[in-house]
Chains A and B, each alone.
Chain A
């Protein structure tokens, strides 16, 4: 019952290229952001928030751009290179930042992303400075495509990648490792007294979050055809956190629901009321935080609980549910 609406939305989104081709690019960009937000949601499980994850978005986007420019640019290798770069940078930065918590964790991430932003502007021989880099349209399994075809392929690629990432992240959060990550939020002392290193656990989540942000960044780069230092700017990091709260940080679906709403409001509000779209979003966020701190997906779950009775407890306590069964 409660999965009817989500299934309908996925279906509706999937037929967009046919029904409303003009929204296709918008949705691709929403998926790209949703993937990055998924990374934020992973960290939020551990009670940590990063105000610098645009770093991984940008690292991946720039690496993807360079690969597309210099190696003939196959779509798959472009995306893979971007994600791999984000994961490696995530590991290096992560080793350092997982020693800190809360405001220090948030601000250290911000600091590192600001440094990277400055470097992107400074080293214009490599990065194109504030003009950024053009990203030539990559080939898809060796084929050079028209713009329209490419956009459709990219849309479906983004849709499939988003579904896969959401599924994988959901499984990860239900796994022992994911439960240990969530345990960091409530009791690190006990975690250590179970023989588990809280830092290593957080590091594994951090690298995953960096990779997810990277996937989003690389998709954004090929979808927009240009990368600029703005990809690493702190406003973008803040946007990811904003969308996570909006959509609901308690579930992987929240990332994509939030991103769709955010991009929708941004685009249409900007068209009809260009001066006040930030105000609209600000008010939406206020309402969410005050009345439904678990975001839009949390509100939906509460509504469903009321209509069809409460769901069984989520995760490991859920003894009767078959492993991997959909919620």
Chain B
């Protein structure tokens, strides 16, 4: 691949008690190439995201971003460098409304710390309403997030990550919980926005249809290892992948 390496993981190892969640993981993330991660439950996909975003420190191995060693750097430092994340279980501020959640993200991104200016009046407000519109949540802007169904909370969680204007975005099962009639539509919009903003996406996904449509590359995880990696057409038709991964998830 000719494009620039945005993030590279080398020899990542981590274990929890007897469980090996990362076992010599080596993978490069290329700028502009969306990478899908597939694999059975407990394969270590989320763990990989946790390591890449600084939530977990690997017992061995390293992570570089933009050529800089970022192993074990706190999530907020990586965020500041341009690495954002959406979670498998939405991580929201449950005592705030939807738009307030986004305004907090926008204020953090624009570093607005003024203690006397109401957050409701920051200049990024219009942009955030637009972002909400994009993920089909404009109509619930003033609702407390605690009242929302899982699918909408997932979308808000993704919108929070997008509000940070990252270079690299990790999404952990972005469409789980989203109604299947809306999955493609919403992801289409997100993918378009990502392409426009030149954001490289890495996403964990169980839905093979989504992977085929949105990924430039696929990596197959199992028991903490990367088994295969390549273009979706090849990987998804590989007999081992069909047997071990696809067979299991459909």
B100 touches which of A315, A323, A324 (Cβ 8 Å) = A315
Nearest opposing residue in chain B for A325, CB measure? B118
Question: Is residue A180 within 8 Å, beta carbon to beta carbon, of the partner chain?
Answer: yes
Nearest opposing residue in chain B for A204, CB measure? B115
A195 touches B97 (CB 8 A): no
Set of chain A residues within 8 Å of B105, measured between Cβ atoms: 194
B95 touches which of A175, A182, A190, A318 (Cβ 8 Å) = A182
B76 touches A197 (CB 8 A): yes
Question: Is residue A171 within 8 Å, beta carbon to beta carbon, of the partner chain?
Answer: yes
Set of chain A residues within 8 Å of B96, measured between Cβ atoms: 179, 182-183, 186, 315-317
Question: Is residue B103 within 8 Å, beta carbon to beta carbon, of the partner chain?
Answer: yes
Task: Give per-residue flags for A177-197: 1 if the beta carbon is below 8 A from chain B beta carbons, else 0.
Answer: 111101101110111111111
Nearest opposing residue in chain B for A184, CB measure? B93
B94 touches which of A186, A204, A313, A318 (Cβ 8 Å) = A186
Question: Is residue B227 within 8 Å, beta carbon to beta carbon, of the partner chain?
Answer: no
A316 touches which of B74, B91, B118, B160 (Cβ 8 Å) = B118
Nearest opposing residue in chain A for B120, CB measure? A316
Task: Give per-residue flags for A188-231: 1 if the beta carbon is below 8 A from chain B beta carbons, else 0.
Answer: 01111111110000001000000000000000000000000000
Set of chain A residues within 8 Å of B93, measured between Cβ atoms: 182-183, 186-187, 190-191
| Chain A positions 299-327 with a Cβ under 8 Å from a chain B Cβ | 313, 315-319, 321, 323-324
Question: Is residue A174 within 8 Å, beta carbon to beta carbon, of the partner chain?
Answer: yes
B117 touches A195 (CB 8 A): no
> Given A179-B103, A182-B95, is A315 in contact with B79 using a C-beta cutoff of 8 Å?
no
Question: Is residue A282 within 8 Å, beta carbon to beta carbon, of the partner chain?
Answer: no
A177 touches which of B91, B113, B121 (Cβ 8 Å) = B113
B120 touches A318 (CB 8 A): yes
Task: Give per-residue flags for A154-182: 1 if the beta carbon is below 8 A from chain B beta carbons, else 0.
Answer: 00000000000000100110111111101
Question: Is residue B116 within 8 Å, beta carbon to beta carbon, of the partner chain?
Answer: yes
CB distance from B101 to the nearest CB of A (A): 9
Nearest opposing residue in chain A for B77, CB measure? A195
A180 touches B115 (CB 8 A): no
Question: Is residue B107 within 8 Å, beta carbon to beta carbon, of the partner chain?
Answer: yes
B115 touches which of A175, A187, A317 (Cβ 8 Å) = A175
B97 touches which of A171, A176, A317 (Cβ 8 Å) = A317
Set of chain A residues within 8 Å of B160, measured between Cβ atoms: 190, 194
CB distance from B123 to the nearest CB of A (A): 12
Does more than half of chain A's interface fall in helix, strand or loop, or is it mixed? helix
A195 touches B118 (CB 8 A): no
CB distance from B166 to the nearest CB of A (A): 10
CB distance from A70 to the nearest CB of B (A): 33
Set of chain A residues within 8 Å of B178, measured between Cβ atoms: none
A316 to B103, CA, bound (A): 8
Most buried by B among A168, A172, A189, A317: A317
Question: Is residue B112 within 8 Å, beta carbon to beta carbon, of the partner chain?
Answer: yes
| Chain A positions 274-294 with a Cβ under 8 Å from a chain B Cβ | none
Task: Give per-residue flags for B82-122: 1 if the beta carbon is below 8 A from chain A beta carbons, else 0.
Answer: 00110000011111111110011101110011111111111
Most buried by A among B118, B120, B160, B164: B118
Set of chain B residues within 8 Å of A179, measured between Cβ atoms: 96, 100, 103-104, 107, 119
Question: Is residue B75 within 8 Å, beta carbon to beta carbon, of the partner chain?
Answer: yes
A30 to B56, CA, bound (A): 49
A319 touches B120 (CB 8 A): yes
Question: Is residue B127 within 8 Å, beta carbon to beta carbon, of the partner chain?
Answer: no
Set of chain B residues within 8 Å of A193, measured between Cβ atoms: 53, 75-76, 79, 84-85, 91, 161
A176 touches B113 (CB 8 A): yes
A195 touches which of B79, B98, B112 (Cβ 8 Å) = B79
Please name 6 pairs of A and B residues whose Cβ atoms are closer than 8 Å in the assembled complex, sorted by A: A171-B118, A179-B103, A190-B91, A315-B118, A316-B97, A323-B121
